[in-house]
Structure 1
């Protein structure tokens, strides 16, 4: 009888292990937001079109785009697409305070989109930011005079293109909504 109780106890214990073997964590789904690349998306969606390429211009510019997000989130990488192989300074700015939030150098791969991961920079919904590249090599998009900006892409509103002549790290002050020069971008992930 004692042996039967032990066998029965082991059998019940074994069945409990088998019936509890399902991992309860399998029911938990982690939802991660997809990273967004605003300028890359606008080009891929045909919102802006490549019109011309400039190599070794006698003038160097700080150029890029002004934007704001519809959600709080993080910028985790900065990227460029330049028609030459070289190293370029890329800067992320807070437009309202004119504060430099991040500066890195990115090596371009002639005509390919090149991104560098950065320590995440938190950005707030509704705040204006600017991403720029300092270069004399650039692509020219939509130079036909038609209004391009402001334009939405996912959780980002690109409000305009800006530039400033020179090699100094200065926030661009000349803005237009009909053209875009360069190709600098961010990797943005919105908070849940």
Structure 2
């Protein structure tokens, strides 16, 4: 199972590639010397680079459309379960949620362990919430129509997502990977309604 440092190293490489295409003039600048803490230094660089790329995509949504598949690939390698939203938000704003959801299901079905792990984290952040334009609309149960449509489309994908979770768990190469993916699937997919094989106690889903 890859170490977190390896996962971040690959993610940083992908971030650098996208920044070179979308913000070629940008430089990260001088950072404090953290030679004694290389893992933290990489994590900090990724945070800065992720934020810069997110800002560039927000300012130029056409770049999301131009680099859609590469950005999906990047999201599927972002190991941070919270900060990944900074890449997800401009993607959703530019092209909507459905294509991203489809891509994440694809990574769960056929991706590497890292891609499956990060796609589960991204699925959680990419789920739509309902939005009510005014308080009286909430009282009447009348959600914003666009948000309602996105929510309905997400709900319609749920059976495929749950099936992809099963495939992701079954495709793991080691018990450790299987347990990690299964635990995350439980959390993200409310796995009391997910049945994913029996890897043996205590990991029954």
TM over 0.5: no
- Where relative contact order (Cα < 8 A, 6+ residues apart) is larger, the structure is 1
Larger radius of gyration, structure 1 or 2?
1
Which interval holds the TM-score relative to the shorter structure? under 0.3
**TM-score normalised according to structure 2 size:** 0.23
**TM-score normalised according to structure 1 size:** 0.24
- The structure with the greater share of residues assigned to helix is 2
